[in-house]
């Protein structure tokens, strides 16, 4: 649990605040061949993005009892939920609905 806590502290030190929300900056593979790197905001998905970071922080807060992780996870989840609400007319609507379901579960079960 000590290592998980240190990872959580590192994640929080690297957050980017956007009004009352938070997100993170990361490297990502670019182009068709994915042979170059770029730097930019993380996505909103669970695998490479804000939702996965929020999930980690939510469970870390739940198991360590540290409110700072729970509060920051809540801010990250709210950012994702607000983003997905704006994407109603996206061709990825069903995928977004799936992500929204899991984000709301994180929010209500952990936070």
- The pLDDT tens digits for 15-33 are 999 888 888 998 877 777 7
- The pLDDT tens digits for 33-54 are 778 888 888 887 788 888 889 9
Task: Say what the pTM is.
Answer: 0.78
What pLDDT, on a 0 to 100 scale, did the predictor assign at position 98?
65
What pLDDT, on a 0 to 100 scale, did the predictor assign at position 40?
83
Helical spans, DSSP H, in 36-92: 50-64, 67-86
pLDDT at residue 8 tops 70:
yes
- What is the three-class DSSP state of 3? helix
pLDDT at residue 106 tops 70:
yes
Residues with Cβ within 8 Å of residue 64, at least 6 apart in sequence: 1, 4, 5, 8
Please tell me what DSSP assigns to residue 90. S
Please tell me what DSSP assigns to residue 16. E
- The pLDDT tens digits for 77-102 are 888 777 777 766 665 555 566 666 77
């Amino acid at each position: 649990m000590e290592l998980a806590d240190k990872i959580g502290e590192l994640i929080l030190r690297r957050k980017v605040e956007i009004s009352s929300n938070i997100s993170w900056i990361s490297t990502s593979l670019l182009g068709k061949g994915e042979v170059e790197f770029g730097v930019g905001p993380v996505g909103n998905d669970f695998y490479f993005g804000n939702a996965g970071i929020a999930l980690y922080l939510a469970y870390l807060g739940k198991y360590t009892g540290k409110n700072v992780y729970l509060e920051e996870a809540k801010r990250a989840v709210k950012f994702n939920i607000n983003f997905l609400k704006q994407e109603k007319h996206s061709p990825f609507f069903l995928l977004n609905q799936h992500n929204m379901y899991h984000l709301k579960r994180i929010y209500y079960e952990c936070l």
